[in-house]
Structure 1
Amino acid sequence: MNIEEIYKECGAYLKGHFLLSSGKHSQFYLQSAKVLEYPNLAQNLAKELANIITKSGIKVDSVCSPAIGGILAGYELARALDTRFIFAERVDGKMNLRRGFSVKDGETFIICEDIITTGGSALEVAKLINSLGGNVLAFAALANRGFCKVENLENSRKDSCKLPLDKPLFSLGNFEFEIYDPDDCPLCENGSRAIKPGSNTNHG
């Protein structure tokens, strides 16, 4: 399964000048919503990810994702693993469980995202689950942005990765894009203006 080709075929591999949530700039952006809008494709991707996780020997009780981007990927992964699914939401800048969701003491989890960049949001959710008595065994994502080491792929870990060293990350593919500080961005130097992904339909 070639995740890069799938993103391109779905129009989810965007090229332009993007302002990332980290404040940095990039010429490329992965818009996972364009992939996950096709339920059969989302199901097949999750099944492939679940197979990778299962073959590793990891078995969990539940999957938890950060809202909103990770919800569809996490839900489909939970279905493929035949487990429960919940999601965390950011309230006043802090991740919380709402909507009656709870964590049982000792309940094991995988934290699932659509895309893992540095893993900051996933780590926040993991800390939340652990604080409520759960036990996070691993992390998962449809795609990895190249900062964190993926258990089932041959890539290296960068210093900016925030995920813990003792918990594996599973992913269907690894994307490595150049990311620039706003003050040292060649795209800005060429007169282009960075846009937030989704705020403009012209990505060419």
Structure 2
Amino acid sequence: MDVAQIYKDANALLEGHFLLSSGKHSRYYLQSAKVLEDPKVAETLAIALAKMIQAHGIEIDTICSPALGGVLAGYELARALGKRFIFAERVNGEMTIRRGFEVKKGEKILVCEDIITTGGSALEAAKVAQSMGGEIVGFAALANRGFCKRIGSDVSAKPTCKLPNDAPFFALADFEFDIYEPNECPLCKEGSVAYKPGSRGN
């Protein structure tokens, strides 16, 4: 499966001058919402990710995603795996699981995002599920931005990766782009102004 081509076909691999959630700048941006707006494409990607996870042989009871970006990817993955789905969301800046969702003690949970960059939001969701008694058995995403090491990839984890080393991370592809500090950004030096296309902070 050519995941990069799927993103390109959906106009989800954007080129320009982008302000990332980290505050850094990049020439490229992945917009998974554009890929997931087509249910058939979302299903195809989720099935491929589910097969990768099943091949690893881990036991899963529930898929949990951080809102908002991970919800569609997580739901489709849960559907492909035949598992329950819940999500975590920010309330006053703090990740929480509410809306009547419960986590049983020892419940095996896999945390799913649309894109994993450093894994910060996924880790926050995992910690909430753990605090409710859940056991985190792994992490998953449609795309890996190359900061964390996924199963089946030669890309090494960067120091900024926040995912734990003792839990497997599954993703369909790596997308490694140059990222710049604002004061070192060549696009800014050319006079371009960065804009934020993502959901957080918009």
Range of TM-score over shorter length? over 0.9
Structure 1 regions of 5+ residues with no counterpart? 200-204
Task: Report the TM-score when normalising by structure 2.
Answer: 0.97
**C-alpha deviation, 1:153, in angstroms:** 1.8
Partner of 1:105: 105
Q: Hey, what's the Cα distance between the residues in 2 that align with 1:198 and 1:124? A: 19
Q: Hey, what's the Cα distance between the residues in 2 that align with 1:100 and 1:139? A: 23
**C-alpha deviation, 1:198, in angstroms:** 5.5
Task: Report the TM-score when normalising by structure 1.
Answer: 0.96
Structure 2 regions of 5+ residues with no counterpart? none
AA of the residue aligned to 1:34 = K
Change (3 A) 1:54 1:70: same
Partner of 1:202: none
- RMSD of aligned Cα (Å): 0.9
**Paired residues for 1:1-204 under 5 Å:** 1-197=1-197
**C-alpha deviation, 1:152, in angstroms:** 2.1
Determine helix, strand or coil for the equivalent of 1:16: strand
1:56-99 per-residue CA deviation (whole Å, 9 max, x = no partner) reads 01120000000000000000000011000000000111101121
Q: How many residues align?
A: 199
Find runs of 4+ consecutive structure 1 residues off by over 4 angstroms: none
Q: Hey, what's the Cα distance between the residues in 2 that align with 1:45 and 1:111? A: 16
Between the aligned residues of both structures, percent identity stands at 63
AA of the residue aligned to 2:105 = D
